[in-house]
Amino acid sequence: MATLLLIAGCSSTTEGEASPRVETSTTVATPTTPWDPCTIPDEAIERAGLNVETKESGIFGRDQNGFKICGWESQPSDSKYYFSIFVGLEGIDYIDDTSKFDRLQSVRVGTRDATQYQQLGADASLNCGAAFTAGAELIMTTLNTSALVDLVPYDPCTELSELTASLDSELPN
């Protein structure tokens, strides 16, 4: 959100004569709380192939470390993974923390340049994460496959990219 401030005044071009001038200043407001991904309409969640009945705000109902979090399971006939969106007031360098994330690589997710990552110690054949910024916010999407799945019928990073791309128009720019 930008605020434009106009100040009108006079400046002198030749001694004794005043001429009008306009000074401008642009201020970008930084949000004090992150955007809440649970505000994504149910219709968009269904179109993405997720089960709206499984929506969970936060982790065990609570936001974590300043991040707004929302997640959904895949459709009941699949029930193979859990998709989450984390939104915080952090920069992309947040995922450079080697005590939490590894296997970073640049990718394209929908219309966005993103960084694909794994949580430290996560099995890449079951889980994937992608992060990108939108203004002052860091958006992280994750896909975690159920531990009960014996044979994963999809590549977690490809599935995550497709889910995130399908929700792109609902995410902040």
Under 8 Å between Cβ of 81 and 138: no
Under 8 Å between Cβ of 40 and 170: yes
CA distances from 157 to 43, 62, 113, 121 (A): 23, 26, 15, 16
Long-range contacts of 76-80 (CB under 8 A, 24+ apart): 76/51, 78/49, 79/146, 80/145, 80/146, 80/149, 80/152, 80/153, 80/154
CA 149 to chain CA mean position, Å: 27
Q: In this predicted structure, what is the pLDDT of residue 16? A: 57
Q: In this predicted structure, what is the pLDDT of residue 55? A: 95
Q: Looking at the whole model, is its pTM more than 0.85?
A: no
Q: Which domains, ranges and CATH numbers included, belong to the chain?
A: 37-170 (3.40.1000)
Q: In this predicted structure, what is the pLDDT of residue 7? A: 38
Neighbour count for residue 150 (Cβ, 10 Å): 4
Radius of gyration over every alpha carbon of the chain, rounded to an integer in angstroms: 22
Report the candidate in 28, 39, 138 with the shortest Cα–Cα distance to residue 89: 138
Residue ranges for the chain with pLDDT beneath 50 = 1-12
Token pair, residue 93, equals: 């360098």
Query: DSSP characters for 26-90?
Result: EEEPPPSS---GGGS-HHHHHHTTEEEEEEEESBTTB-BTTBEEEEEEEPTTT--EEEEEEEES-
